[in-house]
Amino acid sequence: MSVLSCEQTDVRIAGIQVVNKLDLEIRQGQFWGLLGPNGIGKTTLLKCLAGLEQPAAGRILLESRAISELPRKLLARHIGMLQQHTVYVFDSSVLQTALTGRHPHLAYWEREGAEDFEKASTALKVVGLEGFENRSVTGLSGGEARRLAFATLLVQEPEIMLLDEPTNHLDLRHQVEIMGMIHARTQAGSHSAFAALHDINLAARYCSHVIMLFGDGAWCAGRKEDILDESSLEKLYNCPVERLESASGPRFHPAAG
């Protein structure tokens, strides 16, 4: 059981309060979509949840313990994060990079065993990078690098997956595949996910819960059926939105005019 929660959390960027007293519980089985315009603090909130930054006020808890007091290695076994950008300065092979996901599970002197290699190969296969094992990471395309970063997260096996724009650089098929994978894992009840997204319809299709950040500190969070509608989206993006019905639920588009 791993619940990641915020208690009365404030997030500030350059002195401006972008999130005011956020109370949130990310429970297993939930897939949260984090929506909001550019520069509103989505990444900063994700970093706070991952323990990379301290919130301006309030606490972030894993179960009942403040994550700021937990050792990083322990955190890394429970919480993983896909960053918005991955830059590789030093050359390395795709397989070796995927294997770094095992780092928090191994003792300092320990080498990766057959099981770790197995996990890395499986993850690479799952994201469609089979056969790339010995390729250099510096030669990958943007989308391939993105899928490798996601594979590394899968290899890390955290129950709580934080994802900063997971579909960046991905073509349509890979967007659907990766969102589908996260959806399937959370549906199974063993994992939870919290993803900053720009595509409302990916949120509408795959997420179970949605949180919106309005930028003035206001937020609203809950089940997507209760949160996602034209009026809240229009307020969020300051742009007229129309709702269309599809077989798999409502979809939202910018309204003409």
Partner 1 sequence: MMPTAHRRLLFLLLALFSAGSILIASAIGSVMLDWSQWLTAMTDSTSEFGELLWRLRLPRAAAAWTVGALLSLSGCLMQVLLRNPLADPYILGVSGGASFAALLGMTLGVAASILPALAWAGALVSILIVFSLSRGEGPWSGTRLLLTGVVTASGWAALISLLLTLGPDSSLRGMLFWLIGDLSYARLPYWALAILIAVFLACFGMARSLNVLAMGETTARLLGEPTRKLLWLIYLLASVLTATAVSVAGNIGFVGLIVPHLMRLLVGSDHRILLPAAAMFGGLFLVLSDTLARTVVAPRQLPVGVVTALLGVPLFLLLLNRARVKQ
* Cα–Cα dist 148/151, whole Å: 5
Q: What are the start-end ranges of the H helices in 21-141? A: 42-49, 72-78, 94-99, 114-126
Q: Which of residues 156-195 bind partner 1 (CB under 8 A)?
A: 156
Q: Which of 2, 28, 100, 122 binds partner 1 (CB under 8 A)?
A: 100
- Should residue 34 be labelled a site residue for partner 1 when binding is judged by CB under 8 A? no
**The one-letter amino acid at 152:** T
Q: Which is nearer to partner 1, 111 or 173 (CB)?
A: 111
Token pair of 243 as six digits? 């709702």
- Should residue 87 be labelled a site residue for partner 1 when binding is judged by CB under 8 A? yes
CB of 42 to partner 1, least distance (A): 16
* Cα–Cα dist 104/88, whole Å: 20
CB of 111 to partner 1, least distance (A): 8
Output the furthest CA–CA distance in the chain (Å, rounded): 63
- Should residue 142 be labelled a site residue for partner 1 when binding is judged by CB under 8 A? no
* Cα–Cα dist 56/85, whole Å: 24
Please choose, out of 23-31, 85-93, 205-213, 245-253, the segment that lies near partner 1 by the rule CB under 8 A.
85-93
Scan for tokens 């009365």, then name that residue. 8
* Cα–Cα dist 131/134, whole Å: 8
CB of 80 to partner 1, least distance (A): 7
CB of 233 to partner 1, least distance (A): 31
Residue ranges in contact with partner 1 by CB under 8 A:
50, 52, 71-77, 80-81, 83, 86-93, 95-97, 99-101, 103-104, 106, 108-111, 133-134, 136, 139, 156
